[in-house]
Structure 1
Amino acid sequence: MVGGSAIRGSRVGAGPMGEAERGDSAPRLYVSYFCSNRHETRPAFAADAVVPETWDCPRCGLPANLDSENPPPPPKIQPYKTHLAYVKERRSDAEAEAILTEALEGLRARRAAGEVIY
């Protein structure tokens, strides 16, 4: 086999030639969205689709809207909460004091009974 090709009769780019085989594409509407970093995003929508008010910027991840002069502000980032912060949200100081007193009484009773507590 001299200079053979594994795929005969084909070349780069060979194949169906677009519109003739697939049919016409649906009409599209390109909409510009702007984020607070001044990035412009232009997603395509079907011409009869409802266009959303906001869109996430693919470059920075911030929210974007249709108004180039007044883009939405970046969202406020909440700091990480510790387990203790979540507990303090659920219980008042009086409830915490009552639970601590009950736990200490149980521990003292077990020690008085001679249990080994680590």
Structure 2
Amino acid sequence: MADRSLRGIRLGAQSLQSEEGVVFMERTQYTYACTSCGRDTTLTFAADAEAPEAWECRTCGAEAVLRVGDKTAVVDHSEDKIPRTHWDMLLERRSRPELEELLEERLAFIRARRGAGEDVTAQKIGA
């Protein structure tokens, strides 16, 4: 313990752990070429890990494709899930004429309430 004295050390500034006796995993470097800005990104993975075909570019955020030799890998986007908007989900439940009818009913209710001078907040609260 004499060589690892805690006296006079700043908390959190230095680690008391050493890399002595640690065996690092074999690693492999892969290069990804950005499809937008053209920059290369080199990433390090474990040797037994399978490198993904695409990675996000660190510079511009676009898709960077794995480069194998002089060629780039072909990324298959056929199984990618297309994000649905709220409007898409609404159209799955109701038809457009139903939505227009509901809109007209709601607008008529709002116009009638404004004309009667009712307080909107009191109606929501239930007072």
TM-score, L = length of structure 2: 0.48
CA contact (8 A) 1:33 1:66 kept: yes
Which residue is 1:97 aligned to?
A: 104
Give structure 1 regions of 4+ aligned residues with deviation exceeding 4 angstroms.
Answer: 67-72
Larger Rg: 1
CA contact (8 A) 1:64 1:71 kept: no
Shift of residue 53, structure 1, vs aligned partner: 1.7
- The 2-side partners of 1:70 and 1:53 are apart by 6
Number of matched residues? 83
Q: 1:44 to 1:52 in 2, by over 3 A?
A: same
Which residue is 1:49 aligned to?
A: 49
Gaps of 5+ in 2: 1-7, 9-16, 76-85, 91-95, 121-127
CA contact (8 A) 2:53 2:74 kept: no
Q: Deviations over 1:50-89 (max 9, x none)?
A: 21121111122211111455888xxxxxxxxxxxxx78x9
SS at match of 1:98: helix
Which residue is 1:33 aligned to?
A: 32
Counterpart code for 2:33: F
Shift of residue 24, structure 1, vs aligned partner: 3.2
Which residue is 1:78 aligned to?
A: none
Gaps of 5+ in 1: 1-6, 8-15, 73-85
Going by fraction, where is strand more abundant, 1 or 2?
2
Shift of residue 105, structure 1, vs aligned partner: 3.0
Q: Deviations over 1:27-53 (max 9, x none)?
A: 111111111211111100000112112
Alignment of 1:12-23 (within 5 A): 21-23=20-22
Taking only the aligned residue pairs, the percentage that are identical comes to 27
Shift of residue 107, structure 1, vs aligned partner: 4.0
SS at match of 1:43: strand
Q: Deviations over 1:81-103 (max 9, x none)?
A: xxxxx78x957332211111123
Counterpart code for 1:59: T
